[in-house]
Structure 1
Amino acid sequence: MAILRKDSVPETEAVSGYPEPWNLGRGFLSYRHITEAGGLTQFGAAVETLLPGKQSSQMHWEEHEDEFLYMLSGELTVVENGEETVIGPGDACCWKAGVPVAHCLRNHGDRPATYLIVGSRVPHNICHYPGLDLLATSEGFTHLDGTPYPTKGETE
């Protein structure tokens, strides 16, 4: 058993892994990867903080992974298939694997928003990004036709 005290898990600045032109850069959110610190492997959980004026990810949905979010502080706008819903502390979101509800989080407020995010760790998952020429697979990011995006340092 691992007891993880408040603030004992280091905070990491997120760096977007999306290929160009979809990359979100850095400085949009930070996270504390709780399950990594605890050595768990079957699901992932992190406490994330999304900064004001920023977006968490590209709009996406997962083929094989469930996702769960629980708001801790602040306020977020959840965008699902173009519909926006504001959530606050105590609110939760569930995105079932295989249901094509594209979603992302936006912080339209003037202060950081913090939430617990949990997802299953399915090695063969495919993540879809509607409206973008982008898929995330276990082999990396590809175009919709399956052509891989170049990895860092490669040219297309």
Structure 2
Amino acid sequence: MAVFRKDSVPVTVAHASYPAPYTLPAGRLHYRHITEAGGLTQFGAALETLLPGGQSSQMHWEEHEDEFMFMLSGTLTVVEDGVETIVGPGDSCCWRAGTPVGHMLKNHSDAPATYLIVGSRRPENICHYPGLDLIATPDGPTHLDGTPYPKKGDTQ
């Protein structure tokens, strides 16, 4: 058993991990990856804080990974296939694997919003980004036609 006291898991500042032209600004969100600290491998859980004006990710849905979000403080706008819903403390969201509902979180408020995010860790997962020429595969991001995006540091 591992006990982690509040603030004992280090904060990581999110960086832009999407290939150009879909990158998001660094610093929009920070997280404490609780399950990484505990060495768990079958699911991932993180305490995330989305800063004012921030967007959690590009609109996406997962083929093989369930996702769960539980709001702890602040308010967020959940965007699902273009429909916006405001959520606050005590509210939760579930996105079932294989259900093509594109989703993302936005912070339109003037205060940080903190939530617990949990997902399966399926190495075969494929993530779809509706409206973008982007698919995340186990081998890295590709265009819709399967052509890989250049890896960081590669020259074109």
RMSD: 0.6
Deviations 1:65-118 (A, max 9, x none): 000000000000000000000000000000000000000000000000000000
1:98 pairs with 2:98: yes
AA partner of residue 51 (structure 1): L
| Equivalent residue, structure 2, for 1:40 | 40
1:137 pairs with 2:146: no
Secondary structure of the 1:109 match is: coil
| Equivalent residue, structure 2, for 1:59 | 59
CA distance in 2, matches of 1:10, 1:97: 29
Q: Which runs of 5+ in 2 are unaligned?
A: none
Secondary structure of the 1:44 match is: strand
Q: Give the CA deviation at 1:154.
A: 1.2
1:12 pairs with 2:12: yes
Identity of aligned residues (%): 74
Secondary structure of the 1:37 match is: helix
| Misfit runs of 4+, over 4 Å | none
| Equivalent residue, structure 1, for 2:68 | 68
| Number of corresponding residues | 156
| Equivalent residue, structure 2, for 1:109 | 109
AA partner of residue 83 (structure 1): V
Compute the TM-score of the two structures, normalised by the length of structure 2: 0.99
1:86 pairs with 2:86: yes
AA partner of residue 92 (structure 1): S
Secondary structure of the 2:37 match is: helix
Compute the TM-score of the two structures, normalised by the length of structure 1: 0.99
Secondary structure of the 1:35 match is: helix
Secondary structure of the 1:155 match is: coil
| Equivalent residue, structure 2, for 1:49 | 49
Secondary structure of the 2:118 match is: strand
